[in-house]
Amino acid sequence: MREIVFDTETTGLDPREDRVIELGCVELENRFPTGRSLHRFINPEGRSVHPDAQAVHGISNTDLADKPVFSGIADEFLEFIDGAKLVAHNANFDIGFINAEFARLGLPMVDPALVVDTLAIARRKHPMGPNSLDALCRRYGIDNSRRTKHGALLDAELLAEVYIELAGGKQATFGLETAADKPAEERQNTTAPVVLPARPRPLPPRLTPAEQDNHAAMVAAIGDNALWLRRKQDNAESNTKAESA
């Protein structure tokens, strides 16, 4: 399974008016880094970098003056992501900008089915948050000390590590890989599950005799509608059916 973890930096927040000025991508294969990456700075074609955006990523119009425009790197980007899922943090933002750039060039938009949003995954896994990239790096012990400013490639590299942890850590494939994902010869050679023998003697009860007597008195006080009595009756009926089968 091939995935591209990516991040963008932009001139501002509105994809209809603002432009992508930095693109960073990291390739994963079966949720392990392959070492392949793509990093490009992009000339915004006359669009000025908003001061608030520059305060976040530190990229100025002067830095971008000699860089290629998006149309100059679009084919390279499309080739790099071809056939892969796209992984981003708060993916709606990054995909919105990528789709806006594609639309200006008359290219098809990114298929939403190919997009993985790590922010949505983090919110499900850690509903109490916080779930920013920095917060997730701290949660998983990932060194983000180089991240004094936002940068597309650095953020993509950090997010790749976070994504692997969100998926279960370095051994994620052991838990997430299904039989259907394996080659036929591996499925045929799968070792049968180990069947443990029954315990020769049941464990002693954890309740003291006095606690058991108190519980029985409470059940008797509830009467015939006590859930414990219903459960006991259901078990007795199940055993009777099993014996008669």
How far is residue 9 from each of residues 6, 70, 78, 95, 243, measured CA to CA in Å? 11, 13, 18, 12, 70
Which of these, 134, 163, 149, 177, lies nearest to 5 by C-alpha position? Answer: 163
Q: With beta carbons less than 8 A apart as the criterion, state whether 164 and 170 touch.
A: yes
Q: Which of 89, 126, 150, 215 is catalytic?
A: 150
Question: Phi then psi for 21, rounded to 5 degrees?
Answer: -120, -10
β-strands 32-41, 85-88 pairing: unpaired
Please indicate whether residue 89 is annotated as part of the active site.
no
Which of these, 173, 157, 147, 166, lies nearest to 5 by C-alpha position? Answer: 157
Roughly how many angstroms between the first and final C-alpha of the chain, as a whole number? 48
Tell me how long the chain is. 245
User: Catalytic residue numbers?
Assistant: 150
